[in-house]
Structure 1
Amino acid sequence: MEANGGGGGLEDGGDHAPANGGGHGLADHALANGGDQAAAMEAGGAVGNGGLQVMVAPGGVVPAQQPDPDALYQVFLCFPAQEIARCRRVCRLWRDITSTEAFRREHQRHRYRTPMPLFFFQGPGPFRAVDIRDRVSRPVIRYSSHHEVLRIHGSCAGILLLSSGDRLYACNPCTRRWAHLPPLHVDHRIVGFYAERVSGNFECQVLYHDRQEPADCEYWIYDLGPAAAVRSIGRPGPEDEGEDDVNLDLVLANGIAPSYMIPPVYVLSCLHWPLRATRGNVNRGLLMFDAGQESFAFIPPPGNGTVVGDQLFEIDRHLAMAVLGVPSTVDIWVRSNMTELWSRRYSIRLPMYEINLNGGYHFTGRLAPGVFAVPHDDGNTSTLVQCPGILLQFDALGDVLQRYQLADYQTFLYRHAIQESLLLHPAILPMQDTDAVDGDPPFFRNQ
Structure 2
Amino acid sequence: MSLNTTKKSQIQANMGNEAALIKRMVMELADTPPQLTVDNYREIFVRLTAKDVLRCGTVCKAWRSITTDPDFLAYHARCQQTEVLLYKYLYREFPSNEHCIVDIVLDALLVSGDEARQHRLIRYPNQTRDWLLIASSHGVLLFGKGEGLYLLCNPLTRKWADLPRLPQAQRRGMIDNKEYAFYFHKPSHEYRLLCCRNWWSANGTWCVLSTGETQPRYIDTPHAEAAGITRLVPGLRMTVTTPVSLHGRLHWPPYQGALSDHTSMVVFDMTSETFSQMQGPPTTTGSLVKLFDMDGLLVGADFGKENHIDLWFPESYGTAARWELRHQVAIPWGHYNAGRILKPIDLLSVAAAGDSNGNVMLGNRYGLVVYNVKRRETVKTINTLVTDDFVVSRHMFRANLVQHPHFAMRPSADLPYVHF
Q: Tell me if both proteins adopt one fold, taking TM over 0.5 as the criterion.
A: yes
Shift of 1:284: 5.7
Residues 1:118 and 2:104 aligned together: no
State the distance in 1 between where 2:210 and 2:204 align: 20
Partner of residue 140 from structure 1, selected from 110, 121, 139: 121
Map Cα deviations across residues 388-433 of structure 1 (whole Å, 9 max, x no partner). Answer: 4xx433334234344443876132x32222221110102x32x21x
SS at match of 1:189: strand
SS at match of 2:418: helix
Shift of 1:75: 1.6
Contact kept? 1:334, 1:343, Cα under 8 Å: yes
Residues 1:157 and 2:124 aligned together: no
- Partner in structure 2 of residue 83 of structure 1: 52
Shift of 1:135: 1.6
Contact kept? 2:312, 2:327, Cα under 8 Å: no
Letter aligned with residue 394 of structure 2:
R
State the distance in 2 between where 1:280 and 1:140 align: 43
Residues 1:364 and 2:315 aligned together: no
- Partner in structure 1 of residue 246 of structure 2: 267
- Partner in structure 2 of residue 232 of structure 1: 218
CA separation of 1:233/1:88 partners in 2, compared to 1, >3 Å: closer, same or farther?
same
Partner of residue 327 from structure 2, selected from 347, 350, 373: 347
- Partner in structure 1 of residue 28 of structure 2: none
State the distance in 2 between where 1:361 and 1:138 align: 33
Letter aligned with residue 192 of structure 1:
A
Contact kept? 1:286, 1:299, Cα under 8 Å: yes
Structural mapping, 1:33-432, within 5 Å:
68=36, 70=38, 71-110=40-79, 113-123=80-90, 124-133=103-112, 135-136=114-115, 137-143=118-124, 145=125, 149-166=130-147, 167-184=149-166, 187=169, 188-198=177-187, 202-211=189-198, 215-225=202-212, 227-228=213-214, 230-237=216-223, 241=226, 245-246=227-228, 248-252=229-233, 256-257=236-237, 261-275=240-254, 285-303=264-282, 307=286, 309-324=288-303, 326-336=305-315, 341-344=321-324, 346-350=326-330, 355-357=333-335, 360=338, 362-364=340-342, 368=347, 372-378=351-357, 380-388=358-366, 391-396=367-372, 397-405=377-385, 409-411=389-391, 413-426=392-405, 428-429=406-407, 431-432=408-409
Letter aligned with residue 180 of structure 1:
D
Map Cα deviations across residues 314-354 of structure 1 (whole Å, 9 max, x no partner). Answer: 234232211247423222222245565233262133166xx
Letter aligned with residue 140 of structure 1:
L
State the distance in 2 between where 1:351 and 1:407 align: 19
CA separation of 1:418/1:356 partners in 2, compared to 1, >3 Å: closer, same or farther?
closer
- Partner in structure 2 of residue 57 of structure 1: none
Contact kept? 2:285, 2:304, Cα under 8 Å: no
- The gaps in structure 1 that reach 5 residues or longer are 1-62
- The gaps in structure 2 that reach 5 residues or longer are 1-30, 91-102, 170-176
SS at match of 1:170: strand
CA separation of 1:126/1:364 partners in 2, compared to 1, >3 Å: closer, same or farther?
closer
Contact kept? 1:332, 1:347, Cα under 8 Å: yes
Q: Return the TM-score normalized by structure 1.
A: 0.68
Letter aligned with residue 166 of structure 2:
L
Shift of 1:274: 1.6
Farther off after superposition, 367-376 or 93-102: 367-376
CA separation of 1:316/1:438 partners in 2, compared to 1, >3 Å: closer, same or farther?
closer
**Number of residue pairs the alignment of both structures matches:** 359
Contact kept? 1:210, 1:219, Cα under 8 Å: yes
SS at match of 2:364: strand
SS at match of 1:414: strand
Map Cα deviations across residues 171-216 of structure 1 (whole Å, 9 max, x no partner). Answer: 2111112112233396422211122322xx6233221111266542
Contact kept? 1:131, 1:138, Cα under 8 Å: no
Shift of 1:229: 5.2
Structure showing greater radius of gyration is 2
Shift of 1:279: 12
